[in-house]
Amino acid sequence: MTCRTPTLPQGRGVLSEAVLSALREDGTTLPGRPEVGRADPYGDDLQLALYLCYELHYRGFDGVEDEQEWDPALLGFRGMLERRFLGALRADATRHERAEDALEDILVEPVDGTGVSHFLRDSGELWQVREYAALRSLYHLKEADPHAWVLPRLWGRAKAGMAAVEYDEFGGGRADRVHAQLFADLMTDLGLDAAYGRHLDAACAEALVTVNMMSLFGLHRALRGALVGHFAAVEVTSSPGSRRLVEAMERVGAGPAAVFFYAEHVVADAVHEQVVRRDVVGGLLEEEPGLAADVAFGIDATQWVEERLGGKLLGDWRAGRSSLRTPL
């Protein structure tokens, strides 16, 4: 995977078109609160606008000046988008008040598994596996980056545990084992373009929501509890799902690198689960018990947005149609 900046995508409405214009520095005025307030908080337009703003804190875009990362007008507009998005998440995704209850609910998988990994393992076709990889590339090609932002906001057991897990995610000191690189290798096995950001135009709003939520939680100190909850939800549920995806990759003949990516997560995340529960969540709540509700919210929100994405993918695939906005 080469380190290159992606090109700007196509706009999807008034909000995202305005951000694109601002990034091109053509003098366009950004929309105000009324326009943001009328937008669907989970829709293509708002989510792409938010993704564009967040991406300035990762690799940026080709032709966009680095100074745009801290442009006051863009930051103010991003704040309006975030408040709309976060308010909707808190209203729609909150299920638990206690972190212990939220964790308990995700420790046991439903007996009648009907998720995306079950579908791909049991009946998925190669084209569906390729679509899944293209959508997930928006996160996996920067895997663990949003979570690294929480490290300066933790201390003690929570910081040490988080740093240990992140070290594994970043390859344990080996560039070829960085998980983002392993996913790029998976994409190559599947005959996909593994360039960073290549599949943004193809991604549905439901996929953008899952990535934007990580950036939202990671970039705000006030949401450190939600970020830890999100991280816990990912690590606790990853190993069983990855095992099913190993079987899916083997069944469709995806190739050794595609199989290896998920096989690596079966082993690593089984260990990470214990560290995250005991040290990261346990350490944080020992130091800051007042963040328990935020940790629960992070877990709940993760489950909720993943269920929305799963519903979108399965609905499309079972109807025999692509889940992507543009063809691969």
Summarize the confidence of residues 5-15 as an average pLDDT: 97
pLDDT band at 107 (very low <50, low <70, confident <90, very high): confident
pLDDT band at 270 (very low <50, low <70, confident <90, very high): confident
Summarize the confidence of residues 140-150 as an average pLDDT: 97
Cα–Cα distance, 273 to 277 (Å, whole number): 6
pTM of the entire structure? 0.96
Give Cβ neighbours of residue 21 (< 8 Å, ≥ 6 apart): 28
Summarize the confidence of residues 183-196 as an average pLDDT: 98
Cα–Cα distance, 165 to 268 (Å, whole number): 9
Mean pLDDT of all residues in the chain? 95
pLDDT band at 111 (very low <50, low <70, confident <90, very high): low
Instruction: Please name each of the domains of the chain with its CATH number.
Output: 14-91 (no CATH), 97-318 (1.20.910.10)
Cα–Cα distance, 185 to 285 (Å, whole number): 38
pLDDT band at 108 (very low <50, low <70, confident <90, very high): confident
pLDDT of residue 2: 58
Is the pLDDT at 177 greater than 80, yes or no?
A: yes
Summarize the confidence of residues 201-218 as an average pLDDT: 98
In the block, tokens 């929309």 appear at: 31
pLDDT of residue 238: 87
Is the pLDDT at 211 greater than 90, yes or no?
A: yes
Cα–Cα distance, 110 to 89 (Å, whole number): 24
b/e per residue 56-70 (b: at least 16 CB within 10 A): bebbbbeebeeebee
Q: The tokens of 271 are what?
A: 């260990």
Summarize the confidence of residues 13-32 as an average pLDDT: 93
Summarised one tens digit per residue, pLDDT across range 234-265 is 998 888 999 999 999 999 999 999 999 999 98
